[in-house]
Protein backbone atom coordinates (compact mmCIF):
# COMPACT_ATOMS: atom_id res chain seq x y z
CA UNK A 1 0.00 0.00 0.00
CA UNK A 2 1.08 3.57 -0.64
CA UNK A 3 0.95 6.45 1.79
CA UNK A 4 -0.60 9.89 1.99
CA UNK A 5 1.87 12.78 2.12
CA UNK A 6 1.68 16.56 2.15
CA UNK A 7 3.63 17.59 -0.96
CA UNK A 8 3.95 20.46 -3.36
CA UNK A 9 3.93 19.82 -7.09
CA UNK A 10 7.71 19.84 -7.45
CA UNK A 11 8.12 17.32 -4.63
CA UNK A 12 5.46 15.13 -6.21
CA UNK A 13 7.29 15.22 -9.55
CA UNK A 14 10.59 14.33 -7.88
CA UNK A 15 8.94 11.41 -6.13
CA UNK A 16 7.56 10.17 -9.44
CA UNK A 17 11.10 10.05 -10.88
CA UNK A 18 12.18 8.00 -7.87
CA UNK A 19 9.21 5.64 -8.21
CA UNK A 20 9.84 5.23 -11.96
CA UNK A 21 13.37 4.02 -11.15
CA UNK A 22 14.92 6.65 -13.40
CA UNK A 23 18.61 5.87 -13.97
CA UNK A 24 20.00 9.19 -15.23
CA UNK A 25 18.99 12.73 -14.26
CA UNK A 26 20.63 15.78 -15.83
CA UNK A 27 19.40 19.26 -15.02
CA UNK A 28 20.26 22.89 -14.49
CA UNK A 29 18.46 24.97 -11.84
CA UNK A 30 15.87 27.58 -12.78
CA UNK A 31 12.98 28.98 -10.74
CA UNK A 32 10.33 27.63 -10.21
CA UNK A 33 11.65 24.22 -11.27
CA UNK A 34 14.81 24.09 -9.15
CA UNK A 35 13.38 22.21 -6.19
CA UNK A 36 12.41 19.27 -8.43
CA UNK A 37 16.02 18.38 -9.13
CA UNK A 38 17.21 19.54 -5.71
CA UNK A 39 14.91 16.94 -4.16
CA UNK A 40 16.09 14.28 -6.64
CA UNK A 41 19.74 15.14 -5.93
CA UNK A 42 19.06 14.68 -2.22
CA UNK A 43 17.34 11.33 -2.81
CA UNK A 44 20.37 10.13 -4.78
CA UNK A 45 22.91 11.52 -2.29
CA UNK A 46 21.20 9.80 0.65
CA UNK A 47 20.98 6.46 -1.14
CA UNK A 48 17.19 6.54 -1.50
CA UNK A 49 17.33 6.65 -5.29
CA UNK A 50 19.67 4.56 -7.42
CA UNK A 51 20.52 6.93 -10.26
CA UNK A 52 23.29 9.08 -11.68
CA UNK A 53 22.84 12.83 -11.25
CA UNK A 54 24.85 14.69 -13.86
CA UNK A 55 25.56 18.35 -13.10
CA UNK A 56 25.82 20.46 -16.24
CA UNK A 57 26.53 24.07 -17.16
CA UNK A 58 23.22 24.88 -18.88
CA UNK A 59 19.76 23.64 -19.78
CA UNK A 60 20.97 22.97 -23.32
CA UNK A 61 23.61 20.64 -21.91
CA UNK A 62 21.10 19.01 -19.57
CA UNK A 63 18.90 17.92 -22.45
CA UNK A 64 21.92 16.92 -24.52
CA UNK A 65 22.99 14.60 -21.69
CA UNK A 66 19.48 13.15 -21.56
CA UNK A 67 19.73 12.58 -25.31
CA UNK A 68 22.94 10.58 -24.92
CA UNK A 69 21.68 8.61 -21.93
CA UNK A 70 18.45 7.74 -23.75
CA UNK A 71 20.50 6.50 -26.71
CA UNK A 72 22.30 4.21 -24.25
CA UNK A 73 18.94 2.66 -23.33
CA UNK A 74 18.18 3.91 -19.82
CA UNK A 75 15.24 5.77 -18.31
CA UNK A 76 16.07 9.46 -18.06
CA UNK A 77 14.46 12.52 -16.53
CA UNK A 78 14.95 16.25 -16.47
CA UNK A 79 13.01 19.39 -15.59
CA UNK A 80 13.08 23.05 -16.53
CA UNK A 81 11.12 26.29 -16.85
CA UNK A 82 10.76 29.34 -19.06
CA UNK A 83 14.09 30.55 -20.54
CA UNK A 84 15.56 27.16 -19.66
CA UNK A 85 13.08 25.44 -21.96
CA UNK A 86 13.79 28.06 -24.61
CA UNK A 87 17.52 27.30 -24.25
CA UNK A 88 16.73 23.61 -24.80
CA UNK A 89 14.86 24.37 -28.03
CA UNK A 90 17.70 23.21 -30.30
CA UNK A 91 17.80 19.77 -28.64
CA UNK A 92 14.04 19.20 -28.37
CA UNK A 93 13.53 18.14 -32.02
CA UNK A 94 16.68 15.99 -31.94
CA UNK A 95 15.14 13.90 -29.17
CA UNK A 96 11.71 13.67 -30.75
CA UNK A 97 13.13 13.03 -34.23
CA UNK A 98 15.28 10.20 -32.88
CA UNK A 99 12.17 8.79 -31.12
CA UNK A 100 13.76 8.77 -27.65
CA UNK A 101 11.30 8.33 -24.73
CA UNK A 102 12.60 11.14 -22.52
CA UNK A 103 10.28 12.52 -19.83
CA UNK A 104 10.63 16.15 -18.74
CA UNK A 105 8.67 18.19 -16.21
CA UNK A 106 8.11 21.84 -17.10
CA UNK A 107 7.21 24.10 -14.19
CA UNK A 108 5.52 26.70 -16.36
CA UNK A 109 6.88 30.24 -16.09
CA UNK A 110 6.38 33.27 -18.33
CA UNK A 111 9.05 34.12 -20.88
CA UNK A 112 10.98 37.39 -20.61
CA UNK A 113 10.91 40.28 -21.27
CA UNK A 114 9.89 41.86 -18.96
CA UNK A 115 11.64 39.50 -16.58
CA UNK A 116 9.45 37.54 -14.19
CA UNK A 117 9.56 34.32 -12.18
CA UNK A 118 5.78 33.82 -12.22
CA UNK A 119 3.81 31.35 -14.27
CA UNK A 120 1.88 31.17 -17.49
CA UNK A 121 1.93 28.72 -20.42
CA UNK A 122 3.97 30.73 -22.91
CA UNK A 123 7.11 28.63 -22.42
CA UNK A 124 5.69 25.20 -23.19
CA UNK A 125 3.08 26.34 -25.71
CA UNK A 126 5.89 28.02 -27.67
CA UNK A 127 7.41 24.54 -28.10
CA UNK A 128 4.21 22.83 -29.22
CA UNK A 129 5.67 22.00 -32.65
CA UNK A 130 8.89 20.44 -31.34
CA UNK A 131 7.52 16.90 -31.63
CA UNK A 132 6.99 16.32 -27.90
CA UNK A 133 3.79 15.10 -26.32
CA UNK A 134 2.52 17.81 -23.95
CA UNK A 135 0.36 16.92 -20.95
CA UNK A 136 -0.96 19.67 -18.63
CA UNK A 137 -1.96 18.92 -15.03
CA UNK A 138 -4.32 20.51 -12.55
CA UNK A 139 -2.91 19.36 -9.19
CA UNK A 140 0.17 17.95 -7.48
CA UNK A 141 -1.54 14.56 -7.42
CA UNK A 142 -2.12 14.69 -11.14
CA UNK A 143 1.51 15.77 -11.64
CA UNK A 144 2.83 12.68 -9.84
CA UNK A 145 0.41 10.34 -11.57
CA UNK A 146 0.96 11.84 -15.02
CA UNK A 147 4.74 11.63 -14.75
CA UNK A 148 4.40 7.91 -14.06
CA UNK A 149 2.01 7.49 -16.97
CA UNK A 150 4.39 9.49 -19.18
CA UNK A 151 6.98 6.71 -19.13
CA UNK A 152 4.41 4.13 -20.25
CA UNK A 153 3.30 6.47 -23.02
CA UNK A 154 6.76 7.50 -24.20
CA UNK A 155 8.16 3.96 -24.13
CA UNK A 156 5.19 2.39 -25.93
CA UNK A 157 6.61 0.74 -29.09
CA UNK A 158 3.97 2.39 -31.28
CA UNK A 159 4.67 5.85 -29.82
CA UNK A 160 8.36 6.23 -28.87
CA UNK A 161 7.94 9.97 -28.40
CA UNK A 162 9.21 12.19 -25.55
CA UNK A 163 6.74 13.69 -23.08
CA UNK A 164 6.56 17.06 -21.32
CA UNK A 165 4.49 17.11 -18.14
CA UNK A 166 3.53 20.76 -17.58
CA UNK A 167 2.59 22.09 -14.13
CA UNK A 168 1.85 25.73 -13.38
CA UNK A 169 4.73 27.53 -11.72
CA UNK A 170 4.17 28.37 -8.03
CA UNK A 171 0.42 27.65 -8.23
CA UNK A 172 1.32 23.95 -8.37
CA UNK A 173 5.09 23.78 -8.11
CA UNK A 174 5.25 25.38 -4.65
CA UNK A 175 1.77 24.84 -3.21
CA UNK A 176 1.33 21.88 -0.87
CA UNK A 177 -1.61 19.51 -0.85
CA UNK A 178 -2.35 15.95 0.27
CA UNK A 179 -0.95 13.50 -2.30
CA UNK A 180 -1.44 9.74 -2.44
CA UNK A 181 2.00 8.27 -3.12
CA UNK A 182 1.79 4.71 -4.49
CA UNK A 183 3.98 1.95 -3.16
CA UNK A 184 7.10 1.07 -5.12
CA UNK A 185 5.93 -2.46 -5.89
CA UNK A 186 2.66 -1.11 -7.31
CA UNK A 187 4.54 1.27 -9.62
CA UNK A 188 6.90 -1.52 -10.67
CA UNK A 189 3.92 -3.63 -11.74
CA UNK A 190 2.42 -0.71 -13.65
CA UNK A 191 5.58 0.44 -15.43
CA UNK A 192 7.48 -2.79 -15.84
CA UNK A 193 11.12 -2.77 -16.89
CA UNK A 194 12.32 -0.61 -19.75
CA UNK A 195 13.48 -2.64 -22.75
CA UNK A 196 14.45 -0.24 -25.55
CA UNK A 197 14.27 -1.44 -29.14
CA UNK A 198 17.50 0.30 -30.14
CA UNK A 199 20.52 1.39 -28.12
CA UNK A 200 24.12 2.42 -28.66
CA UNK A 201 25.88 -0.94 -28.67
CA UNK A 202 29.36 -1.61 -30.05
CA UNK A 203 28.38 -5.23 -30.59
CA UNK A 204 25.31 -4.29 -32.64
CA UNK A 205 25.99 -0.85 -34.13
CA UNK A 206 23.19 1.58 -34.96
CA UNK A 207 23.36 5.18 -36.10
CA UNK A 208 21.23 7.77 -34.34
CA UNK A 209 20.34 11.06 -36.06
CA UNK A 210 21.52 10.25 -39.57
CA UNK A 211 21.56 12.76 -42.40
CA UNK A 212 19.08 12.11 -45.20
CA UNK A 213 18.38 13.63 -48.63
CA UNK A 214 15.15 15.62 -49.25
CA UNK A 215 13.30 12.69 -50.81
CA UNK A 216 13.66 10.70 -47.56
CA UNK A 217 13.24 13.43 -44.94
CA UNK A 218 9.45 13.55 -45.21
CA UNK A 219 9.19 9.83 -44.44
CA UNK A 220 10.72 10.42 -41.01
CA UNK A 221 8.39 13.33 -40.30
CA UNK A 222 5.41 11.25 -41.41
CA UNK A 223 6.47 8.54 -38.95
CA UNK A 224 6.53 11.11 -36.16
CA UNK A 225 3.07 12.34 -37.09
CA UNK A 226 1.73 8.79 -37.17
CA UNK A 227 3.25 8.14 -33.74
CA UNK A 228 1.52 11.23 -32.39
CA UNK A 229 -1.76 10.01 -33.88
CA UNK A 230 -1.30 6.63 -32.17
CA UNK A 231 -0.42 8.40 -28.92
CA UNK A 232 -4.02 9.60 -28.60
CA UNK A 233 -5.23 6.06 -28.08
CA UNK A 234 -2.22 5.11 -25.96
CA UNK A 235 -2.65 8.08 -23.59
CA UNK A 236 -6.25 7.09 -22.94
CA UNK A 237 -5.44 3.39 -22.60
CA UNK A 238 -2.56 4.01 -20.21
CA UNK A 239 -4.71 6.23 -18.01
CA UNK A 240 -7.48 3.64 -17.95
CA UNK A 241 -4.97 1.03 -16.80
CA UNK A 242 -3.61 3.49 -14.23
CA UNK A 243 -7.12 4.09 -12.90
CA UNK A 244 -7.69 0.36 -12.54
CA UNK A 245 -4.44 0.01 -10.61
CA UNK A 246 -4.56 3.15 -8.45
CA UNK A 247 -8.16 4.41 -8.52
CA UNK A 248 -7.45 7.84 -10.03
CA UNK A 249 -8.26 9.20 -13.50
CA UNK A 250 -8.14 12.59 -15.19
CA UNK A 251 -10.17 12.21 -18.36
CA UNK A 252 -7.57 10.81 -20.72
CA UNK A 253 -6.98 13.43 -23.41
CA UNK A 254 -9.55 15.90 -22.06
CA UNK A 255 -11.78 15.88 -19.01
CA UNK A 256 -15.42 16.94 -19.15
CA UNK A 257 -17.05 18.47 -16.08
CA UNK A 258 -20.83 19.00 -16.09
CA UNK A 259 -20.65 19.73 -19.82
CA UNK A 260 -22.99 17.10 -21.27
CA UNK A 261 -26.13 19.24 -20.86
CA UNK A 262 -24.38 22.60 -20.59
CA UNK A 263 -25.54 25.63 -22.53
CA UNK A 264 -22.22 27.45 -22.10
CA UNK A 265 -18.87 25.67 -21.74
CA UNK A 266 -15.41 26.98 -20.87
CA UNK A 267 -12.32 25.17 -22.20
CA UNK A 268 -8.96 25.57 -20.49
CA UNK A 269 -5.72 23.87 -19.37
CA UNK A 270 -3.76 23.56 -16.13
CA UNK A 271 -4.48 24.59 -12.57
CA UNK A 272 -7.10 27.23 -13.43
CA UNK A 273 -9.45 24.33 -14.15
CA UNK A 274 -9.82 23.95 -10.39
CA UNK A 275 -11.10 27.52 -10.09
CA UNK A 276 -13.39 27.02 -13.06
CA UNK A 277 -14.91 23.90 -11.44
CA UNK A 278 -15.93 25.95 -8.41
CA UNK A 279 -17.49 28.59 -10.64
CA UNK A 280 -19.39 25.95 -12.64
CA UNK A 281 -20.78 24.48 -9.42
CA UNK A 282 -21.78 27.96 -8.20
CA UNK A 283 -23.54 28.76 -11.48
CA UNK A 284 -25.28 25.38 -11.52
CA UNK A 285 -26.59 26.06 -8.00
CA UNK A 286 -28.09 29.24 -9.42
CA UNK A 287 -29.84 27.36 -12.22
CA UNK A 288 -27.36 28.15 -15.02
CA UNK A 289 -26.26 25.29 -17.24
CA UNK A 290 -22.50 25.90 -17.24
CA UNK A 291 -19.82 23.33 -18.00
CA UNK A 292 -16.06 22.88 -18.24
CA UNK A 293 -13.62 20.99 -20.42
CA UNK A 294 -10.05 20.65 -19.19
CA UNK A 295 -7.61 19.89 -22.00
CA UNK A 296 -5.03 17.50 -20.61
CA UNK A 297 -3.19 16.67 -23.84
CA UNK A 298 -2.29 19.74 -25.88
CA UNK A 299 -0.12 17.59 -28.16
CA UNK A 300 -1.48 15.41 -29.57
CA UNK A 301 -4.53 17.64 -29.61
CA UNK A 302 -7.88 15.89 -28.93
CA UNK A 303 -9.84 17.73 -31.60
CA UNK A 304 -12.37 14.97 -32.25
CA UNK A 305 -13.07 14.49 -28.55
CA UNK A 306 -13.47 18.21 -27.90
CA UNK A 307 -15.80 18.69 -30.85
CA UNK A 308 -17.97 15.82 -29.64
CA UNK A 309 -18.06 17.25 -26.11
CA UNK A 310 -19.10 20.68 -27.38
CA UNK A 311 -21.61 19.53 -30.00
CA UNK A 312 -24.67 20.47 -27.93
CA UNK A 313 -23.36 23.71 -26.44
CA UNK A 314 -24.89 27.05 -27.41
CA UNK A 315 -21.64 29.01 -26.82
CA UNK A 316 -18.04 28.12 -26.02
CA UNK A 317 -15.28 30.08 -24.33
CA UNK A 318 -11.58 29.26 -24.36
CA UNK A 319 -9.31 30.51 -21.57
CA UNK A 320 -5.65 30.78 -22.60
CA UNK A 321 -2.62 31.57 -20.45
CA UNK A 322 -0.54 32.27 -23.55
CA UNK A 323 -0.58 34.51 -26.62
CA UNK A 324 0.40 33.59 -30.17
CA UNK A 325 1.53 37.11 -30.96
CA UNK A 326 -0.11 38.57 -34.02
CA UNK A 327 -3.06 36.20 -33.68
CA UNK A 328 -4.69 34.92 -30.46
CA UNK A 329 -4.40 32.31 -27.72
CA UNK A 330 -3.08 29.01 -29.08
CA UNK A 331 -5.72 26.87 -27.38
CA UNK A 332 -8.44 29.14 -28.79
CA UNK A 333 -7.11 28.52 -32.31
CA UNK A 334 -7.09 24.75 -31.76
CA UNK A 335 -10.61 24.60 -30.38
CA UNK A 336 -12.02 26.66 -33.25
CA UNK A 337 -10.27 24.41 -35.77
CA UNK A 338 -11.74 21.32 -34.07
CA UNK A 339 -15.25 22.74 -34.23
CA UNK A 340 -14.85 23.82 -37.85
CA UNK A 341 -13.51 20.39 -38.79
CA UNK A 342 -16.58 18.79 -37.24
CA UNK A 343 -18.92 21.12 -39.11
CA UNK A 344 -20.11 22.83 -35.91
CA UNK A 345 -21.24 26.44 -36.18
CA UNK A 346 -21.48 28.06 -32.78
CA UNK A 347 -20.19 31.22 -31.11
CA UNK A 348 -16.67 30.83 -29.68
CA UNK A 349 -14.95 33.47 -27.57
CA UNK A 350 -11.30 33.59 -26.61
CA UNK A 351 -10.14 34.92 -23.24
CA UNK A 352 -6.50 35.56 -22.32
CA UNK A 353 -5.75 35.81 -18.61
CA UNK A 354 -3.19 34.88 -15.99
CA UNK A 355 -0.17 36.04 -17.97
CA UNK A 356 2.96 36.45 -15.87
CA UNK A 357 1.28 34.82 -12.89
CA UNK A 358 -1.59 37.30 -12.55
CA UNK A 359 -4.35 35.76 -10.45
CA UNK A 360 -7.42 34.39 -12.20
CA UNK A 361 -10.14 34.79 -9.59
CA UNK A 362 -13.55 33.09 -9.50
CA UNK A 363 -15.11 36.46 -10.30
CA UNK A 364 -13.02 36.65 -13.50
CA UNK A 365 -14.17 33.22 -14.63
CA UNK A 366 -17.79 34.03 -13.80
CA UNK A 367 -17.55 37.13 -16.01
CA UNK A 368 -16.41 34.89 -18.85
CA UNK A 369 -19.50 32.73 -18.41
CA UNK A 370 -21.71 35.83 -18.34
CA UNK A 371 -20.18 36.94 -21.63
CA UNK A 372 -20.79 33.47 -23.10
CA UNK A 373 -24.40 33.52 -21.95
CA UNK A 374 -24.97 36.69 -23.96
CA UNK A 375 -23.56 34.97 -27.03
CA UNK A 376 -25.54 31.74 -26.65
CA UNK A 377 -28.50 32.97 -28.66
CA UNK A 378 -26.36 33.50 -31.75
CA UNK A 379 -26.04 29.80 -32.54
CA UNK A 380 -28.17 28.80 -35.51
CA UNK A 381 -31.21 26.85 -34.37
CA UNK A 382 -30.98 28.09 -30.74
Q: How far apart are the C-alpha atoms of 339 and 135, rounded to whole Å?
A: 21
Final residue of a structural domain among 200, 217, 246: 246
Q: Whole-angstrom Cα distance, residue 205 to residue 378?
A: 63
Q: Are residues 90 and 204 in the same domain?
A: yes
Region 81-100: mean pLDDT is 97
Q: Using CB atoms within 10 A of its CB, is residue 129 exposed (0-12), middle (13-18) or buried (19+)?
A: exposed
Mean pLDDT of 178-202: 95
How many structural domains are present in the chain?
2
Q: In the prediction, which pLDDT does 377 show?
A: 72
Same domain, 265 and 116: no
pLDDT higher than 80, residue 53: yes
pLDDT of 378 reads 67
Preceding omega of 300 cis (within 30 degrees of 0): yes
| Cβ(135)–Cβ(146) below 8 Å | yes
Helices (H), the chain: 9-19, 34-45, 59-71, 82-87, 92-97, 122-125, 140-155, 184-191, 214-246, 272-285, 303-310, 330-341, 362-375
Q: Do 18 and 158 belong to one domain?
A: yes
Cβ atoms 313, 291 nearer than 8 A = yes
24 φ, ψ (degrees, to nearest 5): -135, 130
Rounded CA separation 322/345 (Å): 25
Average pLDDT rounded to a whole number, residues 24-53: 98
218 with 359, same domain: the answer is: no
What band does 382 get if pLDDT is binned at 50, 70 and 90?
very low
370 and 323 within one domain: yes
What is the side-by-side strand order in the sheet with 290-295? 254-257, 290-295, 264-268, 315-320, 348-352
- Mean pLDDT, the chain, rounded, equals 96
Say whether both 241 and 289 belong to one domain: no
Question: If 0-12 CB within 10 Å is exposed, 13-18 middle and 19+ buried, where does residue 207 land?
Answer: exposed
Could you say which of 226, 246, 266 is where a domain stops? 246
| 24: helix, strand or coil | strand
Whether the predicted pLDDT of 3 surpasses 90: yes
Query: Whole domain around residue 344: which residue ranges?
Result: 254-378
Q: Side by side, which strands form the sheet with 103-108?
A: 52-55, 24-27, 76-80, 103-108, 163-168, 133-136, 297-299
| The model scores a pTM over 0.75 | yes
Q: 3-class DSSP state for residue 109?
A: coil
Note whether 206 and 281 are same-domain residues: no
The CATH number of the domain where 286 resides is what?
Answer: 3.40.50.920
pLDDT at 120: 98
pLDDT at 24: 98
Residues 280 and 162 in one domain: no
Q: Which of 197, 223, 246 is the last residue of a domain?
A: 246
Supply the DSSP string of 272-328, one letter for each residue. HHHHHHHHHHHHHHTT--EEEEEE-EEES--HHHHHHHHTT-SEEEEEES---TTS-
Q: Which of 129, 164, 35 is nearest to 27 (CA)?
A: 35
Tens of pLDDT, residues 142-185:
999 999 999 999 999 999 999 999 999 999 999 999 999 999 99
User: Are 21 and 158 contained in the same domain?
Assistant: yes
At residue 379, the pLDDT reads 59
Mean pLDDT calculated for residue range 358-363: 98
- State the pLDDT at residue 326: 98
Give pLDDT tens digits for 126-135: 999 999 999 9
Please report the sign of the dihedral spanned by the C-alpha atoms of residue 176, residue 180, residue 186, residue 187.
negative
Q: Which CATH number fits the domain that encloses residue 67?
A: 3.40.50.970
Q: Tell me the mean pLDDT in the region 78-84.
A: 98
Rounded Cα distance, 68 and 260, in Å: 47
Residues 307, 259 contacting (CB under 8 angstroms): no
Same domain, 35 and 110: yes
Amino acid sequence: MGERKYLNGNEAVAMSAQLARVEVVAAYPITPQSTVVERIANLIATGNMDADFIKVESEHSALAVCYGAACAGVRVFTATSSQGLAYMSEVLPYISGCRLPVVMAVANRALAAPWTIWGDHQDSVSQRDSGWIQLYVESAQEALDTCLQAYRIAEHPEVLTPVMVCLDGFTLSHTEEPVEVPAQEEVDRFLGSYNPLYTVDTGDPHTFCIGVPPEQFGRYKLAQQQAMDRAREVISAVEKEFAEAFGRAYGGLAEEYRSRDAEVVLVTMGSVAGTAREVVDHLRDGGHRAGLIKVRSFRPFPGTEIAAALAKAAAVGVLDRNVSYGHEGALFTEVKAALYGAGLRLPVQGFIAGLGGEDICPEDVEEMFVSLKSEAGRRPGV
